[in-house]
Every structure is written in structure tokens, then in C-alpha cells.
Amino acid sequence: MLSIFSKRPCIKCFSETSKILLRCSSQTATSTIERNKDQLKRQIVEYRHVYPEFLPDPKIEYRNLIREKLERADMVARRTQVDIPEFYVGSILAVTSSDRHNPEKPHRFVGICIKREYCGLRASFIVRNMIDHQGIEIMYNMYDPTIHKVEVLRLEKRLDDELLYLRDALPEYSTFDSNMDAEILPEGTPVPINPIKVKLKPRPWLERWERKNLKGIEELDLPERFFKRAKELEKPWEKYDLMKEYMRTIPEEEQIEIFSEVQAELHKLEVQRKKMKRKRVIVKPSKLA
């Protein structure tokens, strides 16, 4: 705007215009920050399932903020050296690691992931397979420097968070071919949930599975007294205990703070992994008649 008596701009108009510009820029910055926060929250919903080991132990007595921060940096650095893909309990894995007796010859083990536990650099997972009619299980530390490669041959979930009952199940549920080919899901496809129900062998079992409230096993052929005792020992009121649920989880505000530290690096690793997955997709030529 120009003054009536002079061609020079009015100082008052300048100040009003600058205030309007500052207000608009602040509103734009606020909306951008809110948009970034919403995007980060959506990513956190995915990250806390894909990277559960980045979240610290919910138990207060095991928490140490400095150690957790250093461990997260080490975990990201390790992931830049070795591709640790997305997998869940129930996924079929092929883990290649160094053999302590013959370091020059790597060892490859194929099996189903039956458990994931712990957090930070202590994170581990158990892989099970039946070899020569014998159940073999290997527990791997996820960030062990002896691990060369982790391949996901079949990405899927199961109905339960742990599959330790496969130790008492029929052998066919834990038998996988060591030369199994990888099944590649199309990009953007949600992780499938395998609804299979496992048939257990007759008792005795390693644990009282009837007391675990498991969804992935068939109906147990047991006397009524077993189920009566299991009903006496169950605690249905625990799902209403808000304090216990709070102590068992990490608050969302803390999750945002944790993943905001490593979000950029994890995003780079995700993009790199998707590129490598596209390169591995090879169309097999059909046989000529």
C-alpha cells in the first residue's frame, strides 16, 4: 500500500503487512508440524510391530535412558551392515551364520520363528525345524555379529504370539524343506495371518497348554477336570487392570520420541530393502514344449 501524500510506502502499512505475513507463516509452520506429527504417528504404528526391539523394556527397574540411546545407535549401525527384514512369529526364515567350529563355512538353517523376546541389543528369536525326525531349535541374537543374512521365505503371522506348543505338536507342523524358495508378497500387501490350528500329540506335554488360552491349537481331548482346573486358575479381570496394562506397555509419547531419533535411518533401510526385493524378483521362463 502507498500513502496519499507520498510515493514511499507507509511504515504503518509495512508493520501491518509484516504481522500478517508472520501470522501466515506461523500458521503454515504449525500445520506442517502437525502434519509431520500425524505422519510420524502413522509410521510408529507400523514401526512398533516391525521393529519391536527398538522399544525399551517396560519394566522400570530395567530402564536406563543413556544405555537405551547408545543401543539404538548400535542397532541402526548393525542394520546398515546386515539386512534384517520384517518378520513375525510364524514366519519361515533362513538364517545364515558363522560356524564356530569352521568359520570359513557359513551355516544356513531354515525353520519357523516360534518366539521373539527381549529388547535392545539383547533381542533374540527362536527358529525351529524337524531334521531327521528330530526337533531342532536355534536361538539367535538378532544383532549378533556372526549372523551374515536373515531371509524371509514366507512372511506371515499366526493366531498366537508364541508358538512354543509346536514342541508338543505333530512333526508335520514343524517340518520345512531346507531348499524352500522364497514367496514374495506384492508391495503394499498386508501381512497375511495363517489361521491353521495345530494338533497336539497325546500327553504328557512340556507345559499345561490347556491353561494358556491358545487360539492356534485344535480341541484338546482331555478329561473335564483339566478344563475345570484351568478355569479356576484363569484371571479374566486382568484385562480391566489399567495400571497393569500401562506398566506392560510404553506410552505413545515416549514411542514418538524414541522412533523420531531413528526414523530417518530406518526409512532409508526400508527403501533400500524394497529395492533389493525388486531385484530378487525373477520371472522363471516357461518350459518349451
Residue 237 burial (CB count, 10 A) = 7
Query: Per-residue pLDDT tens for 138-149?
Result: 999 999 999 999
What's the average model confidence in pLDDT over 154-173? Answer: 95
CATH tag, 52-275: 2.30.30.790
Task: Read off the pLDDT band of 6 (50, 70, 90).
Answer: very low
Question: Please, where are the H alpha helices in 187-251?
Answer: 224-233, 242-248
Which pTM value belongs to this model? Answer: 0.80
Give the three cell numbers for residue 156: 506371515
The pLDDT of residue 160 is 95
Q: What percent of the chain has pLDDT above 70?
A: 81
pLDDT at 106 over 70: yes
Query: Per-residue pLDDT tens for 187-245?
Result: 778 999 999 999 999 999 999 999 998 999 999 989 999 989 998 888 887 778 777 77
The pLDDT of residue 161 is 92
Q: What percent of the chain has pLDDT above 90?
A: 50
Minimal CA–CA distance to 212: which of 161, 157, 156? Answer: 161
Burial 125-152 (b: 16+ CB within 10 A, else e): bbbbbbeeeebebeebebbeeebeebbb
Residue of higher predicted confidence among 94 and 262: 94
List residues bridging with 189 in a β-sheet. Answer: none
Dihedral angle of Cα 41, 44, 45, 48, to the nearest 10 degrees: -160
Q: Which residues contact 69 (CB under 8 A, 6 or more apart)?
A: 261
Task: Name the E strands within the chain.
Answer: 92-98, 106-117, 124-131, 134-141, 147-154
Q: Which amino acid is at 75?
A: M
Query: In this structure, are residues 182 and 279 in contact, taking their beta carbons and an 8 Å threshold?
Result: no
Query: In this structure, are residues 129 and 175 in contact, taking their beta carbons and an 8 Å threshold?
Result: yes
What's the average model confidence in pLDDT over 78-95? Answer: 94
Among the ranges given (36-40, 88-92, 139-143, 157-161), the one the predictor scored with the smallest mean pLDDT? 36-40
